[in-house]
Amino acid sequence: MMEFVSASEIEKYTYCPLSWWLSRKGVEGKGKELKEGIGRHHEIEKNVEVIKKEEEKLFSSEFMIAVLSTAATILSLVGVGIYLSQQEAASAVTMIISAIWLASAAFFLVVALKSTQLARSARTVVDLPDGTIEYVAGEGVEDLSSKKTGLIGRPDYVINVRGSFVPVEIKTGRVPRGPLFSHIMQLTAYCVLVEEKYGKTDYGMLIYGNQAYRISLTDELKTTLFKKLEKMRESLNTGIVHRDHSRPGKCRHCSRRNACAESLV
């Protein structure tokens, strides 16, 4: 049976195979940035859950407003007809029911306005792109998985943007000058998972602070992803893994450098 490899593992492997291997062996990352990032991610998850909940409530409220308002209008017209036919008692009952339905519609309008305000506030905090939220990573939420590719993972959230499903990954550490290739590979894995689970996926989004990058799902990126998966599975079979770069800066920013026998710093 094919062993599942997570999108976050692909990110670690792309950054440095040894960092990935150490995490596989149970070596936890250390550092202030890592702890702050975990806390920030939890905060983001809560805000996105609020957005999803309030926007679903808004949709339900808008539906009820439309139904009740339409029904009350029709009933009012019927009541006028009954009144003109001099059936005053029946007309009064009809008008009372119509008024109750209009009052109910007003109640749902208040709910809708409140949900809109809460959702907008939460979107401002998270800087969430427009679209309907389909998936939010969080406690108790199932991973997306693919038996066909052997991939598994949880994008921070998935948004339906005019029929295209967009995985979004938020990075909370230092803000680079451009999207890091390791993060692009992680996002590509999410795109592949989302495409299989939900349907059409043209691109994903990487967000660093206030900077968002749209990464297209290309055949080239898919090919690179699957080649890395092959190498990772080969390493799992052989147990042979080495550092694949000669950049001290990479080692300096690695949260597992203190446990690495090949660290350059």
Q: For 124-182, what is each residue's pLDDT tens digit?
A: 555 566 778 888 887 778 899 998 899 999 998 898 988 899 999 988 777 788 899 99
Tokens of 103: 């009052």
Q: What six digits make up the tokens of 222?
A: 């898919």
pLDDT of residue 241: 87
Pairing between strand 211-216 and 203-208?
antiparallel
- The per-residue pLDDT for 152 is 95
Q: What is the pLDDT of residues 70-102, one digit of tens each?
A: 777 777 777 767 666 767 677 677 778 777 867
Cα(264)–Cα(252) distance, rounded to whole angstroms? Answer: 8
Q: Which two tokens stand for residue 81?
A: 């007809």
How far apart CA 162 and CA 132 sit, in angstroms, is 9
CATH fold of 5-30+130-259: Lambda Exonuclease; Chain A (3.90.320)
The DSSP output letter for 250 is: H
Where are the chain's structural domains?
A: 5-30+130-259, 49-126
Is the per-residue pLDDT at 65 higher than 90?
no
- The pLDDT value given to residue 77: 73
Sheet bearing 203-208, strands edge to edge: 132-136, 157-161, 164-171, 203-208, 211-216
**164-171 and 157-161: which strand pairing?**
antiparallel
Give the amino acid at 31.
G
- Please, are residues 79 and 95 in contact by the beta-carbon 8 Å criterion? yes
Question: Is pLDDT at 228 greater than 90 in this prediction?
Answer: yes
Residue 128 DSSP one-character state: P
What is the rounded CA–CA span in Å between residue 247 and residue 230?
24
Determine the pLDDT at residue 32. 58
**pTM, two decimal places:** 0.71
